[in-house]
A and B are shown apart, each in its own frame.
Chain A
Amino acid sequence: MVTAFDYVPAIVLLPFVSFVVALFIGKQLPKKGAYGGIAATAGSLLLSLWVLASVAGGGAHQETYWTWAEGVGSQPFTLEFGALIDPLSALMLVIVTLIATLVHVFSLGYMNDEGERDLPRYYAGLGLFTASMLGFVIADNLLMAFMFFELVGLCSFLLIGFHFREPGPPSAAKKAFLVTRFGDYFLLVGVVAVFATFGTAAFAGAESFPALAEGALDGTVDVWTPGGLDTMTWFTVVGLLVLGGVIGKSAQFPLHTWLPDAMEGPTPVSALIHAATMVAAGVYLVARMYGFYALTPTTLGIIALVGGFTALFAATMGLVKEELKQVLAYSTISQYGYMMLALGSGGYVAAVFHLTTHAFFKALLFLGAGSVIIAMHHNENMWDMGGLKNKMPVTYWTFLAGSLALAGIFPFAGFWSKDEILYEALIHAGSEPLLFAGYAMGLLAVPVTAFYTFRMVFLTFHGNARSEIARNPEPVRWNVKGPLSVLGALAVVTGGINMVPVQKVLGIEGIDYLHLWLDNHWGGIEGLSSHHYAEIDPYSSTYPFGTEVATVLAGAAISLALAVAGLLLAWKLYNVAEPVEHTDKLGGAKTLLYNNYYQDEFQVWLADRTRGVSGGADTFDQGVVDGVVNGVSSVSLFGGDRIKRIQTGVVGNYALLLTVSLTALLVVFALLGGWF
């Protein structure tokens, strides 16, 4: 019987085929390969929905497609490609394919209608990007995940640098590539460490590394540790190594610097990177191997702290930006900080919830920004906008829905997920002081987020038009409005999949669908449920406001009040006919924020400090490595040049050589063999 799981490879391969088609015959196709991409991603979306339905019907699936290396002897590692379909990956498949499809449609308006050149390359990049991310999502072991992780990084490099003829994009692409690669070094070491420790990198099953790690901590399984290190210490080290890749990809402090620059890429690509693929990959990886992270309290604490800090830190930088996409970039960093905070504080479901809602509303905001950018003839400065509200109502209302979701205003999607994250951090803060710091920073980031979001909305859409273009914006077509409408609707209602506060307060059972979903309520794989993670994580719940219900209400009230406060402040300052730059009053603080706390300069300074090391490496490479290679070749060249002189071409000389050699050989053999 044919089930949805038989078509799992097709989900990945369809966008890959569209990549190949766009690459080789894209020029001959109508719309330069856009239709192929839309068809492929839409096909993947349908298959993903079927897979989702199958998982909901009680199925889960793990299959190895190809064992491409088998170990021998005492190192019996098998390296495999396989698929792992459980509630988490099924959900992620749907998110990625949905966003990818909408981004393809939107690209028709953003790229084709704007008359961009090299479109086959663009659509090929999008196809490969989607395919790599889908491959990453279904990966059933860490090594396969790492490979697709790298592919995702490569594709983002290609797409960010799409306009490579201008000066900015290539350098932004290089920066994104190098910074994420810096994190990936740690991930690579982490992957090797996982193999060395457990002999496997599988995510699921009794022989998977999270399960083995759990056994090792219980003392029932023996694992290798370097130098007889304590298993807990070693697992923490391994977890942190893998976390390095996550921090790079998900743009967490201190490796977040690539992401704002990545705004140089085409806006639909930004939407794809921020909502569903590149940046989401990091958080997804942590969620995927959460069974491993949950075992080590130190790692969790660090994740929570980094996440909380990034949430606040990035939000403050978003306050003063003048370009639409820059504000969104910092909000992305900040929102992924929230997800990390959730993962670090044991809120596995909350993190996945926020990943889902964020994917929708952030894609919406980016596509909305893209729509505004089309209308503004690619001027992104918000001070040149204003008054677009009446000129482009579809964009305005959908953008507003996304902004309300981002700011966390009741009852939009972002409110529910952000509230759950803060709630998880709060109730677990009692057992881990690091969490309390994370919670405090996350809470502080709430009004900041609301403020910069609505500063952006008011500057862009409200007040009077501040430039000629803003008075007569270019109209956008269906292929822009369509995706916006779909995402706008989703941004409003997605919160409904997980209304835990409502359940807790009103006592209605069974409306926390995402909780049940990730808890294998309908189907899943043993050991990969949120219930299991809650058992093994080190946290216990305490309710600082007495009962559970009171804590839920208080937490929600605090965060909502802060968000509304931020919103009202933005309203007061910027929802006027002629807003002025109030952030100028911040003085030196504004300069500091505007320059991103001089993080870029600091990293360049840091890189300069390592010049001695890299210079040494360069000398070693140029001198020793190249020297050996060049030496070998010059020795052969010189030797050949000398030895060829015995090739006189005169047959008598050859005969003489043969004779003398034969005589000499005979003498030697005779002496050795005693023939005389």
Chain B
Amino acid sequence: MVPVEYYLLLSSGLFCIGLFGILTRRNALYFLMSVELMLNAANINLVAFSFYWGNLTGQTFALFAIALAAAEVAVGIGIILALYRNFGDVDVMQAATMRW
């Protein structure tokens, strides 16, 4: 059986790849994809620990997380559309008018 550490390494690697994308990209669509990566890193953790404890709750929960990710993408795309309409671009660095 595969030790759980490898799963964790995989998930943290995936998470950091997503984070890297967020930190370096300016295009909102890339942002959305990177966030998906980070979300799925969490799913890997859920599944891994489900296997580790011999309890299927984690796996079921991962299913729900996937459904929520779909909802999140739907809203995210809508936000990106609004962003584009208001700024003429999907550059997240430009959308900085709602600060103090």
Is there a direct interface between A and B, measured as CB atoms under 8 Å apart in the complex? yes
**Hey, which bits of chain A sit against chain B, CB under 8 A?**
644, 647-652, 655-656, 659
Residues of A within 8 A of B23 (CB): 652, 655-656, 659
Q: Is the interface of A mostly helix, strand, loop or mixed?
A: helix
Nearest A residue to B19, CB-CB: A659
A656 to chain B, nearest CB (A): 6
Complex CA distance for A659 and B97, rounded to whole angstroms: 23
Residues of B within 8 A of A655 (CB): 19, 22-23
The answer on a CB contact under 8 Å between A648 and B96 is yes
The answer on a CB contact under 8 Å between A650 and B100 is no
Report if B93 contacts A (CB, 8 A): yes
The answer on a CB contact under 8 Å between B99 and A651 is no
Instruction: Answer whether A647 and B100 are a contact pair too, CB < 8 Å, given A652-B23, A652-B26, A655-B22.
Output: yes
- What are 23 A-B interface contacts by the 8 Å CB criterion? A647-B99, A647-B100, A648-B96, A649-B95, A649-B96, A649-B98, A649-B99, A650-B92, A650-B93, A651-B31, A651-B93, A651-B95, A652-B22, A652-B23, A652-B26, A652-B92, A652-B93, A655-B19, A655-B22, A655-B23, A656-B23, A659-B19, A659-B23
Residues of A within 8 A of B96 (CB): 648-650
9 pairs of A and B residues whose beta carbons are closest in the complex: A649-B96, A649-B99, A651-B92, A655-B22, A647-B99, A650-B96, A644-B100, A650-B93, A656-B23
A-B contact count (CB 8 A): 28
Give the interface size bracket for B toward A.
10 to 19
Instruction: Answer whether A648 and B99 are a contact pair too, CB < 8 Å, given A656-B23, A659-B19.
Output: yes
Nearest A residue to B28, CB-CB: A651
Within 8 A of A (CB), among B83-100: 92-93, 95-100
Residues of B within 8 A of A647 (CB): 99-100
Give a binary string over B51-93; 1 marks a CB under 8 Å from any A CB, 0 the rest: 0000000000000000000000000000000000000000011
Residues of B within 8 A of A648 (CB): 96, 99
The answer on a CB contact under 8 Å between A649 and B97 is yes
Complex CA distance for A606 and B74, rounded to whole angstroms: 82
Residues of B within 8 A of A652 (CB): 22-23, 26, 92-93
**Hey, which bits of chain B sit against chain A, CB under 8 A?**
19, 22-23, 26, 31, 92-93, 95-100
Complex CA distance for A649 and B98, rounded to whole angstroms: 7
Residues of A within 8 A of B92 (CB): 650-652
B36 to chain A, nearest CB (A): 15
A643 to chain B, nearest CB (A): 10
Complex CA distance for A449 and B99, rounded to whole angstroms: 81
Residues of A within 8 A of B31 (CB): 651
Complex CA distance for A650 and B92, rounded to whole angstroms: 7
A308 to chain B, nearest CB (A): 74
Complex CA distance for A650 and B95, rounded to whole angstroms: 7
Complex CA distance for A655 and B24, rounded to whole angstroms: 10
Residues of A within 8 A of B19 (CB): 655, 659
Q: A651-B31, A655-B23 are in contact. List 9 more A-B contacts (CB 8 A).
A: A649-B98, A650-B92, A650-B93, A652-B22, A652-B23, A652-B92, A655-B19, A655-B22, A659-B23
Complex CA distance for A647 and B98, rounded to whole angstroms: 10
Residues of B within 8 A of A649 (CB): 95-99
Most chain A CB neighbours (cut-off 10 Å) among B26, B98, B99: B99
Complex CA distance for A648 and B100, rounded to whole angstroms: 9
Residues of A within 8 A of B97 (CB): 649
Nearest A residue to B94, CB-CB: A650
Nearest A residue to B100, CB-CB: A644
Complex CA distance for A109 and B74, rounded to whole angstroms: 82
Complex CA distance for A437 and B96, rounded to whole angstroms: 89
Complex CA distance for A398 and B26, rounded to whole angstroms: 99
B74 to chain A, nearest CB (A): 19
A608 to chain B, nearest CB (A): 53
Nearest B residue to A644, CB-CB: B100
Nearest B residue to A645, CB-CB: B100
Residues of A within 8 A of B100 (CB): 644, 647
Residues of A within 8 A of B99 (CB): 647-649
Complex CA distance for A650 and B98, rounded to whole angstroms: 10
Nearest A residue to B25, CB-CB: A652
Residues of B within 8 A of A659 (CB): 19, 23
